[in-house]
Amino acid sequence: MQSALLIIFYFFTPILINFICYKYSFARKIGAVLFAYLIGLIIGNVGIFPEASLYLRELITNSDIKLTSSYLQGLEKQGLISGSDLSFYSLYTLRDTLTTITIAFALPLMLLSLNIRAWFKVAGRTFLSLLLGLVSVVIPIFIGYFLFSKQVDESWKIAGMMTGVYSGGTPNLASIQKALGVDSLTYILTHTYDLIMGAVFLLFVMSIGQRVLLRFLPKYSSYGENSVSEANDFESVDRDPFLSILKKKHILPLLVAFGITVLIIGMSAGIGKLIAREFQMMVIILSITTFSILISLIKRVNRIEKTFDTGMYFILVFSLVVASMADLRNFSSSHLHIFYWVALVYGGSLIIHVALAAIFKIDADNVIIVSTALTCSPPFVPVVAAALKNKEIIISGITVGIIGYAIGNYLGVSFAYLFKSLAF
């Protein structure tokens, strides 16, 4: 009964969050994802879930031990764990399964809406700024790994998550968390610190950022983009009530998209079974990403409306579930080094990006919009573009951000194992 109520809560609450964000402007400024995290953290830390003993937590984090109900019941009979531990593990496996399912559905639904052909229409200066932006992000992540790897547990996984989120967005962060097996507390703290620094970054670029950067970079000049109609097609979870997908014109096409999604997940899971257990999730996530991008090339699939919004709904469910799994009582001072690392990436990447842009004569508006798309994700592009009073850069910024969504998983996982191979 408790499990059933929990599932209902996880899948209904994001709809309510979406409606609040749609209805109230202050809620949109906070963001649906942050709302989901806050609610999840509250639910997970008010004492309604059973607690786990230290012994059980060690078993869960030990990848060499495959836990089963019969194995745990045997440990209970030996007095090594309690009935509360069994209840905890039952709910833990439920929530862990939900995170896997939701991210598996979110990825294809979001990526099917990609317009890959539009990538090649991105103006040369913006594409160059994208490359410079990616380089600017990787450098401070590498410096942070060198500085904090000894203070932060499994720092190579955090480096991979940072690479993914700062080349893509929250979906990439969530995907890489599953692919690398990052524990829930580390994930939620990394993302929480990212949200804090992201707010500071947005405040800067939407207020004095343009004036500051114009001291070092040239002013934006139009290069012929006379339409931002494609930008209006970019779907955001805050823009419409989620239940609008139940309109008659959306239902049948979305059922087709769901069928394609199930097929993608099935093929990816089949490939994963051919791989060693420790790499299975990573291979499955990357396979889902690859199949989704390839299928997005089919015009009839690519034009299905509301797939991105539906994918973001699953991201909200994932965010709610994973936040409820984070026990803040396990927080330690070592986690502050993650905050320092995130702050270094935000500040360092912007400084490096500006320096490189000055060398290649990239204008200030392109640097700001590309930095926004990479570090804060595409939904913030129109907001920042409005603050810059420059509508022309909206489609370029959004296209850059969507490219990031597509490549973020590959970069994140690749760099994670690169960092793992380094010895400091």
pLDDT tens sequence across 291-344:
988 898 898 998 888 888 888 888 888 888 877 877 666 656 667 888 899 999
Predicted local confidence at residue 423, as pLDDT:
62
Stronger pLDDT, 70 or 7, i.e. the higher one: 7
> What integer is the mean pLDDT of 383-391?
76
pLDDT of 407 over the 90 cut = no
Low-confidence winner among 39-48, 218-227, 264-273, 350-359 (lowest mean pLDDT) = 218-227
Whether the predicted pLDDT of 233 surpasses 50: no
| pLDDT given at position 117 | 64
Q: Worst-scoring range by mean pLDDT, 141-145, 146-150, 235-239, 251-255?
A: 235-239
Q: According to the per-residue pLDDT averaged within each range, which of 113-117, 209-213, 259-263, 382-386 is highest?
A: 259-263
Q: Which long-range contacts (CB under 8 A, 24 or more apart) does 115-120 make?
A: 115/230, 115/296, 115/302, 115/402, 116/293, 116/296, 116/297, 116/406, 118/230, 118/395, 118/399, 119/399, 119/402, 119/403
Q: What angle do CA 173, 263, 245 make, to 5 degrees?
A: 70
Contacts of 239 (CB under 8 A, 6+ apart): 22, 309
Give Cβ neighbours of residue 294 (< 8 Å, ≥ 6 apart). Answer: none
pLDDT of residue 65: 67
CA distance 413 to 290: 14
Place of tokens 């070092």: 216
Domain residue ranges in the chain = 104-421
CA distances to 190, 213, 292, 377 from 351, in Å: 22, 10, 35, 19
Question: What is the rounded CA–CA span in Å between residue 44 and residue 159?
Answer: 26
CB 327 within 8 A of CB 44: yes
> Is pTM, for the whole model, over 0.85?
no
Q: Return the pLDDT at 8.
A: 93
Contact predicate 367/353, CB 8 Å: yes
Q: Residue 290, class by beta-carbon neighbours within 10 Å (0-12 exposed, 13-18 middle, 19+ buried)?
A: middle
d(CA 235, CA 226): 21
Long-range contacts of 96-100 (CB under 8 A, 24+ apart): 96/325, 98/7, 98/10, 98/317, 98/318, 98/321, 99/174, 99/178, 99/318, 99/321, 99/322, 99/325, 100/178, 100/281
CB within 8 Å of 219: residues ≥ 6 apart: 363, 364
DSSP state of 273: T
Residue 91 predicted with pLDDT over 60: yes
- Rounded CA gap, 148 and 331, in Å? 17
Angle at 112 (CA atoms; ends 172, 400), nearest 5 degrees: 55
Q: Is the pLDDT of residue 215 over 90?
A: yes
At 267, the pLDDT band (50, 70, 90 cuts) reads: very high
Q: For residue 153, which of 411, 370, 332 has the smallest C-alpha distance?
A: 332
pLDDT of residue 319: 81
